Amino acid sequence: MRRACSLVFAAVALIQSADGQKLVANYNESKVPDYDLPDPLLLAGGGRVSSVAEWEEKGRPATLKLIENEMYGRMPVGKPAGFKVVLDKEEEDAVGGRAVRREYLISFAEGKGPEVRMLLYLPKNRTGPVPAFVGLNFRGNQCLEEDTRITPELGYVVGSRKGEDRRAKAESMRGSAAGRWPVAMIVESGFALATACCGNIDPDYHDGWKNGVHPLFTEGDPKPDEWGTISAWAWGLSRLLDALEGIKEVEARRVAVIGHSRLGKTSLWAGATDPRFQVVISNNSGCGGAALSKRAFGETVGRINRSFPHWFNGNFKKYDGNEKALPFDQHQLIALMAPRAVYVASATKDQWADPQGEFLSVLHAQPVYDLYRKSSLGVTEIPAPGQSVGSLTGYHLRDGKHDVTPEDWAFYLAFAKRHLGEDLR
């Protein structure tokens, strides 16, 4: 395993947890515990799925329910009655004349917050409705470009500090995520792009799920099987898609959902729960995203639940330090996308997210794709950095650190064109 060796970092790293306890992160392939991956086609009551019909009637719903119940948590179903989309701003000359840029305000309950500000880019050069990418951002829409016309995000963003001057901070961050969102490249490839700040949907800290969209739909404390923050964000992505369905310049049946890191965990869960997303992309999503939990490599279930107790539901805490007991693993999350297109990407220096475990999830989702007789990854070992593999399922390992870069986007755009861009090739 030449590649596996090149992926192995220094043996073991000691990490100090918030409560002072030393936690050990394993970065050594030879110290990965023995584990058995559940067969994604096995039925709980006995027997094994052998046809698409059986998967769709029994296997898929049971797998979705299990992962929902034990990990991300149950979210409200569908578009809420009070759902409203209002166009707030439009500029015809954005991105150096390449795009029309709009801002929409989306709300979910009459007269009650929260309100989501969706930023939408439409390629100027278009002849009809266009396919789109949709994804959440960490720190506000103004981080995508330096253009001062984009409304700065003054509410909570990932990394907000108490008492800081939010306006000054938001202004100082203009254009800071431009590398993560290469808008010119996206619109020039013929795609629209829709994004919103994840904090508009649910702030990223633990308050017993009292803020964000939670109180609109859940009374009192959520039960152990109910939604955490990642489910709330995924629910929000489905609402952005609802909004796109009402925008005539976008072809909402051709939408790719994308996310990086915690928002990559979110794009996977959104893709699993909302089959309207035709392409699902996870960038460096790691533990709780594409990486297999049972490998306990880099970030573990115990670590993630300790640092981010609000991301997953109450039930998921049962598996802290006990991944063996998990009745599923993340390859089954990937399998929930079948027969739609799913793409996972890792970075060589992002060992915390376990690139090998991310690759293996895609590989071991294959039996479900095989039911549909769809060709898939086409390799059994992680490819060399800089090489994209697969067809309906895809994967690449980028040389470099935890991030989303134009190099990643070049692969995502090619993948999305293959699956959504019948008129763009």
Catalytic residues: 261, 402
In the complex, the smallest distance separating the C-beta of residue 233 from ligand GCU, rounded to whole angstroms, is 11
157 touches ligand GCU by CB under 6 A: no
Give the per-residue contact string, 342-381, with ligand GCU (x = CB under 6 A; - = no): ----------x-----------------------------
In the complex, the smallest distance separating the C-beta of residue 91 from ligand GCU, rounded to whole angstroms, is 30
When the beta carbons of 55 and 343 are compared against ligand GCU, the nearer one is 343
When the beta carbons of 299 and 323 are compared against ligand GCU, the nearer one is 299
268 touches ligand GCU by CB under 6 A: no
Helix axes 229-245, 262-273, angle to 10 degrees: 60
286 touches ligand GCU by CB under 6 A: yes
Whole-angstrom distance, CA of residue 340 vs CA of residue 358: 18
In the complex, the smallest distance separating the C-beta of residue 262 from ligand GCU, rounded to whole angstroms, is 3
Q: Are 331 and 292 in contact (CB under 8 A)?
A: yes
Closest Cα partner for 132 from 51, 248, 229? Answer: 248
When the beta carbons of 172 and 307 are compared against ligand GCU, the nearer one is 307
222 touches ligand GCU by CB under 6 A: no
Q: Which of 189, 261, 346, 356 binds ligand GCU (CB under 6 A)?
A: 261
Closest Cα partner for 382 from 247, 266, 292? Answer: 292
287 touches ligand GCU by CB under 6 A: yes
Whole-angstrom distance, CA of residue 423 vs CA of residue 226: 41
When the beta carbons of 261 and 393 are compared against ligand GCU, the nearer one is 261
294 touches ligand GCU by CB under 6 A: no
DSSP string, 78-110: SS-TT-EEEEEEEEEEEGGGTEEEEEEEEEEET
When the beta carbons of 138 and 343 are compared against ligand GCU, the nearer one is 138
- Residue 404, sorted as left (phi over 0), alpha (psi -120 to 50) or beta, turns out to be beta
Helix axes 60-67, 262-273, angle to 10 degrees: 140
Angle at 329 between CA 324 and CA 334, to 5 degrees: 170
In the complex, the smallest distance separating the C-beta of residue 155 from ligand GCU, rounded to whole angstroms, is 19
Whole-angstrom distance, CA of residue 116 vs CA of residue 69: 27
304 touches ligand GCU by CB under 6 A: yes
Q: Which of 103, 251, 299, 329 binds ligand GCU (CB under 6 A)?
A: 299
When the beta carbons of 98 and 180 are compared against ligand GCU, the nearer one is 180
Whole-angstrom distance, CA of residue 130 vs CA of residue 192: 6
Mapped onto helix, strand or coil, the DSSP state of residue 172 is: helix
262 touches ligand GCU by CB under 6 A: yes
Site for ligand GCU, residues 307 to 336, rule: CB under 6 A: 307
Sole window of 4-12, 28-36, 41-49, 299-307 interacting with ligand GCU (rule: CB under 6 A): 299-307
Sign of CA dihedral 180, 186, 188, 189: positive
When the beta carbons of 279 and 404 are compared against ligand GCU, the nearer one is 404
When the beta carbons of 277 and 308 are compared against ligand GCU, the nearer one is 308
Whole-angstrom distance, CA of residue 342 vs CA of residue 344: 7
Whole-angstrom distance, CA of residue 33 vs CA of residue 148: 51
In the complex, the smallest distance separating the C-beta of residue 401 from ligand GCU, rounded to whole angstroms, is 12
In the complex, the smallest distance separating the C-beta of residue 260 from ligand GCU, rounded to whole angstroms, is 7
Tokens in use for 353?
């997210």
Interface with ligand GCU: number of residues (CB under 6 A):
8
Site for ligand GCU, residues 224 to 253, rule: CB under 6 A: none
In the complex, the smallest distance separating the C-beta of residue 177 from ligand GCU, rounded to whole angstroms, is 12
In the complex, the smallest distance separating the C-beta of residue 137 from ligand GCU, rounded to whole angstroms, is 12
Question: What is the H or E stretch that residue 133 is in?
Answer: strand 130-137
In the complex, the smallest distance separating the C-beta of residue 145 from ligand GCU, rounded to whole angstroms, is 21
When the beta carbons of 352 and 415 are compared against ligand GCU, the nearer one is 352
The verdict on whether omega for the bond into residue 339 sits within 30 degrees of 0, i.e. cis, is yes
Give the per-residue contact string, 29-68, with ligand GCU (x = CB under 6 A; - = no): ----------------------------------------
Distances (CA, A) of 56 to 60, 268, 282, 336, 372: 5, 19, 23, 10, 11
Distances (CA, A) of 361 to 7, 103, 204, 352, 415: 17, 36, 26, 16, 18
Applying CB under 6 A, the residues found at the interface with ligand GCU are 261-262, 286-287, 299, 304, 307, 352
